[in-house]
Amino acid sequence: MSVTTIRSVRRGHSARRVRTGRTVAYYVVSTVLAAVFLFPVVWTTWSSIHGTQATGSGGGGVGVDNYRRLFDYGEGFGRYFANSVIVSTLTVAGTVAISLLGGYAFAYLPFRGRGVLFIAALAILMVPYTTLLIPLYILLQWLGLQNTLVGLALVLIMLQLPFGLFMMRNSFEALPAELEDAALVDGCSVWKVMTRVLLPGVIPGLVTVALFAFLASWNEFVAPLIFLSDGTKFTLPVALVNLRSGTFGSVDFGALEAGIVASAAPCVLLFLFLQRYYVTGFSAGAIKA
Amino acid sequence: MAFAAPAAVIVALFFLVPLGLSVWISLHHWPLLAGDHTFNAPDNYKAVKDDLFKHAVVFTLKYTAITTVVLSLVAFALALLAQEARRLRGIYRTTYFLPAALGLAASSLIFFALYNETHGPLNDILGATHISGPINWIGTPNNALLSTVAMITWRFAGFYMLILLTGLQAIPGDVYDAARVDGAGWWRTLRSITLPLMRPTIALMMILSVSGSILAFDQFYILTNGGPDNSTVTVVLQIYRQAFFLFDLGKGAALSIVVLVLLLALNSVQFRILRPSD
């Protein structure tokens, strides 16, 4: 700041004016843009605690009526929320465990088919998800997993594996090789090396994988739409889209907005707290790609 | 090796098997609910000649082109802004990126309410500021397309900004210093230094945006439901309807194999065009 100030003083008044003009323009443009990006979220939150149009009691005061109607909607909002928690927990746990073990194997253990398996996993990204949905629908039926949260979670784990394996392989490879050698010389088993010596070093990578898996599974819409047929199994996005379709042609916007806020809150909070890990995951993926 | 076994099982069972199964289903008459699966190749593939599918292909390409151009420009502008070393930069970045923390379904629902003529605030704002009369945001084919592009831009611009920022930060500062010494202005620097050096990052953004838009489903299923008059039915929405509304998994599978081949071809063309020239 001070260096630039000195420079502009030296260059005289016109340069300073240009600089101030640029600064003002920067803040005006940035603030307007920020307002535009925030507006939909703020408006949705604001209207979720205002108005009671569906019950017809009128008035525009602040209240939680929208949330009350939301909690009574369908099988009850609590049920949908719980379903989403179950699917996300299974997906995150599965993705983290499989990526951790797989990433270690890809980084350190020479095994037959290593290259083929890694390419096959990355190929998941190349194939449109839609191409897989129809055969997966049949496959889950054969396995008796159709219309189950476990079946849905298994599909979501598969979709997260390319990123998870890639990320964890890189995390393990980034650790100094001497760490593992030293521990092996000291007589640790492979398992002990992994859990005691290497795990602490790859925790940031694991958090990133977990965060991506959570956001993806919590927000997934198409897979539950196709695989779940029973209303008691619906996850939040499917339940909310049903709410949007309305009953007898009228949509309860208040309850819909309450539902959006309640279902998005965990994602937004988690993201704000773990932003750092999100960005790490990004640069890891973007730079290598 | 035992450590890689779980990954191998998931990849084989939930990716490789379905991929093969998809081809198998596409060669058969395969009703959704009951009935025999009889070999009927290549009848299912004739569904590409359906008018609705052809229209869906044209619409999806148009949507992809518009979205990719708008999204890239907005994301690039955001990245340049968010790159400047100024106070509050972190807050601005987080704000632009915040929509990306929401799901695509949640975003579509938010805009479904925003665009609603009686409930949404947009027409009130237009009226109060005398900018224009009320707009039927998703009621006409063109408006439905543009309103969806606007929603997608809102949802993804910050996400692509982040990708572009990683590219921008990889450009060494002394390159810019040298340009400044040579007296290059802002525009010249952008054209001759920033854009060429960002080529791989821009390529990544384009490939992600094109692939994502070609496979668009959630936004059109939720926001416009393919309407008005089937004008916003995308390829994937048409496949979904073929399989799960018309109960014809065979045709749905055949159409998705076609999409797979088209997308792979498109991606390899893009890789070739956007590949760094060295």
Residue with the two structure tokens 């390529």: B203
Which residues sit opposite B149 in a β-bridge? none
Same domain, A16 and A140: no
Query: Does residue A92 lie in a domain region?
Result: yes
Query: Does residue A186 lie in a domain region?
Result: yes
pLDDT band at A65 (very low <50, low <70, confident <90, very high): confident
Same domain, A12 and A114: no
CB A142 within 8 A of CB B41: no
Same domain, A130 and A271: yes
Q: State whether B119 and A253 contact (CB < 8 Å).
A: yes
| pLDDT on residue A241 | 93
| pLDDT on residue A8 | 47
Same domain, A91 and A32: no
Residue (of A213, A198, A196) closest to A277 by Cα position:
A213
Same domain, A24 and A135: no
Same domain, A83 and A21: no
Q: What is the dihedral of CA A238, A240, A244, A248, to 10 degrees?
A: 90
List the single residue in B10, B19, B218 with the smallest CB-CB distance to A132.
B19
Burial class (CB in 10 A: 0-12, 13-18, 19+), B181: exposed
The total domain count for chain A is 2
Query: Does residue A9 lie in a domain region?
Result: yes
Query: Does residue A70 lie in a domain region?
Result: no
Domain span including residue A9: 2-48
List the single residue in B91, B105, B158 with the smallest CB-CB distance to A219.
B105
How long is chain A?
A: 289
Q: What is this structure's pTM? A: 0.89
Domains of chain B (ranges plus CATH)?
A: 48-274 (1.10.3720.10)
Span B13-17, mean pLDDT?
A: 95
Over the stretch A187-200, which tens digit does the pLDDT of each residue have?
778 778 777 888 88
More confident residue, B233 or A179: B233
Q: State whether A237 and B1 contact (CB < 8 Å).
A: no
Over the stretch A104-151, which tens digit does the pLDDT of each residue have?
999 888 888 899 999 999 889 888 888 899 999 999 999 999 999 999
Q: What percent of chain A has pLDDT over 90?
A: 51
Pairs of residues, one from chain A and one from chain B, whose beta carbons lie less than 8 Å apart = 227
Q: Where are the alpha helices (DSSP H) in chain B?
A: 5-11, 17-26, 51-83, 89-97, 104-115, 122-128, 141-169, 173-181, 186-189, 195-197, 199-214, 218-219, 235-240, 249-274
- Which 8-state DSSP code applies to residue A55? T
List the single residue in B18, B109, B114 with the smallest CB-CB distance to A132.
B18
Same domain, A42 and A152: no
Same domain, A132 and A18: no
DSSP B71-127: HHHHHHHHHHHHHS--TTHHHHHHHHHGGGGS-HHHHHHHHHHHH-TTT-SHHHHHH
Neighbours of A222 (CB within 10 A): 20
Same domain, A35 and A86: no
Same domain, A42 and A127: no
Query: Does residue A209 lie in a domain region?
Result: yes
Residue (of A147, A156, A138) closest to A228 by Cα position:
A147
How long is chain B?
A: 278
Over the stretch A33-49, which tens digit does the pLDDT of each residue have?
999 999 999 999 999 98
Query: Does residue A65 lie in a domain region?
Result: no
Q: Average per-residue pLDDT in chain A?
A: 86
Q: How far is Cα A83 from Cα B192, in angstroms, rounded to an integer?
A: 52
Distance of residue A131 Cα from the nearest chain B Cα, in angstroms:
5
Burial class (CB in 10 A: 0-12, 13-18, 19+), A281: buried
